[in-house]
Amino acid sequence: MKEQSIIKAYELAKQRYAELGVDVDAAMEKMKEVAISLHCWQTDDVGGFETPDAALSGGGIQATGNYPGKATSIAEVREDLEKVLKLLPGNQRLNLHAIYGDFGGEKVDRDQIEVKHYQSWIDWCKEQGIGMDFNASCFSHSKAADGFTLSSKNEENRKFWVEHLKRCRAISAEAGKQLGSPCVHNTWIPDGSKDTPIDRNGHRILLKKSLDEAMEIDYPKEYMKDAVESKLFGIGMESMTVGSHDFYLGYAIKNNILICLDNGHFHPTEQVGDKISSCLQFVDEVLLHVTRPVRWDSDHVVTLNEDVQLIASEIIRNDFLGRVNIGLDFFDASINRIGAYVTGTRAAQKAFLIAMLEPTKLLIEAEEAGQNFERLAMLEELKTMPFSAVWDYYCYKEGVPTGFNYIGKIQEYEKEVLSKR
Ligand code: RNT
Ligand code: ZN
């Protein structure tokens, strides 16, 4: 796209938005407050580098597809992430899973991990000038093979996962301390039952006990913040999920920690965008896992759809950016993974910029005056406002490819790097 046409289109768009009382430059400035945490697991289909043959298994998370070019080492994950960072406007963070530790070929079980195994990641984040978030990995492990981790009735296994979580929290606190930005530690467990269980309560008592034990140490909020992620069901766990939304929302409120809302983890007619203002009445902050469920928690690449738009709009309308931590959670192994990454992250960013270009005051005035036709009509008209001109200019100003142009950059990267793996 020619520089001239980007600027020209932007100037016209700016006028159109100004007619609605929207300040486009202020919106682009506000985009600085939107930090998106990039989930490292899009680079290698949630495999990790624990043992030579680490592979995703168990617990209802599934990456489908075998498109060539997947990252097979930490160096390759970083190479990919650096490429992704270059193609995105705005601010990002890294969201690391414990299985991505730098173990140097050594077999380090999850109850043995230490800060030293993640120091090279912390250093990498420092070099990139970004913050880091972290996740306990309670899946793809022999001690999770029976479908239970923190809620296991096998005391040896339960203790093992409690130890893992404790260590992950300590690593998070150290990462946050070193990077000068609080590390959000998220706990998600696959625990549940394929068929109708009897002792739902027993497992929930154990999960609560395990979380209490693992979270005994209170770290300063400037270093780390805890989040717990609920889920409705997983493949192979259709009948009961121990860590349900009711369970974790209760736990988060009681302990004033973060609730993690993954928009693939609810009934398809429920919208996470609607949950934010409910949860934030009772907890200080939430963590989001922005994803695209197609019929189930399929973790398709995020697109600019109404669900994602409602999430972004709710955050911006209510000035919740300081209380919402934004993570992504998709892993598509059937297409160019870096293309998936950039497309999905840009889609989430677009939703935020669109939200910032909304004349919210006008809409609220219509709503409060009972002018619901007018509200509906305005929302419809807003959908076709010249947003792309603003988006292109924003990308141009940020020094990243505008519009379709990032596609070619990813094709080049595929040719030069990914296809040689
Ligand atoms: C699984 C959860 C969880 C995982 C990641 C890898 O259903 O969404 O967040 O996707 O931790
Ligand atoms: Zn998730």
- 53 pLDDT higher than 60: no
pLDDT at 59: 61
Mutational test site, ligand 1, from 138, 262, 297, 301, max ligand atoms within 8 Å of CB: 262
DSSP state of 287: E
pLDDT at 290: 98
> Which ligand is nearest the CA of 190, by number?
1
User: Does residue 17 sit in the same domain as residue 126?
Assistant: no
Q: Is residue 226 part of a domain?
A: yes
> Which atom of ligand 1 is nearest the CA belonging to 231?
7
Do residues 237 and 130 both lie within one domain?
A: yes
pLDDT band at 2 (very low <50, low <70, confident <90, very high): confident
Q: Verify that 95 and 215 share a domain, yes or no.
A: yes
Which of 318, 339, 356 is at the close of a domain?
356
Of 339, 326, 285, 405, nearest in space to 70 by CA: 339
Report if residue 90 sits inside a domain. yes
405 plus 325 within the same structural domain: no
Report yes or no on 27 lying in a domain: no
Distance from the alpha carbon of residue 329 to the mean position of ligand 1, in angstroms: 7
In terms of pTM, does the model score above 0.95? yes
322 with 416, same domain? no
Residues 5 and 112 in one domain: no
Q: Tell how far the Cα of 302 is from the centroid of ligand 1, in angstroms.
A: 15
| Ligand sitting nearest the alpha carbon of 235 | 1
The parent domain of residue 419 ranges over 1-22+360-421
Residue 190: phi and psi, rounded to 5, are -85, -5
Both 364 and 309 in one domain: the answer is no
Whether 29 is covered by a domain: the verdict is no
Give catalytic residue positions: 188, 229, 231, 262, 265, 289, 297, 299, 329
What element of type H or E holds 54? none
Same domain flag for 259 and 175: yes
Decide if 333 is inside a domain.
Answer: yes
How far does CA 46 lie from the centroid of its chain? Answer: 14
Say what the pLDDT of residue 51 is.
Answer: 74
CATH number at residue 234: 3.20.20.150
How far, in Å, CA of 177 to CA of 76, rounded? 26
Domain finish residue from 337, 356, 375? 356
Could you tell me if 166 and 238 lie in one domain? yes
133 lines ligand 1 (CB under 6 A): no
The answer to the question of residue 40 being in a domain is yes
Residue 272 backbone phi and psi in degrees, to 5: -65, -30
- Kindly state if the Cβ of 289 falls inside 6 Å of ligand 1: yes
Judge if the beta carbon of residue 331 lies within 6 A of ligand 1: no
Residue 216 lies in a domain: yes
In this model, does residue 52 exceed pLDDT 70?
Answer: no
Q: What is the length of the chain?
A: 421
How many structural domains comprise the chain? 2
Q: What is the mean pLDDT of residues 56-81?
A: 88
In this structure, is residue 197 part of a structural domain?
A: yes
- My answer on whether 340 and 387 are in the same domain is no
> What's the CA-to-centroid distance between 28 and ligand 1, angstroms?
31
| Whether the CB of 46 sits within 6 Å of ligand 1 | yes
Report the 10 Å Cβ neighbour count for 52.
7
Do residues 57 and 15 share a domain? Answer: no
User: What is the mean predicted confidence (pLDDT) over 91-115?
Assistant: 97
**Of ligand 1's atoms, which has the minimum distance to the CA of residue 260?**
9
Q: Is 41 in the pocket of ligand 1 (CB under 6 A)?
A: yes
Residues 189 and 308 in one domain: yes
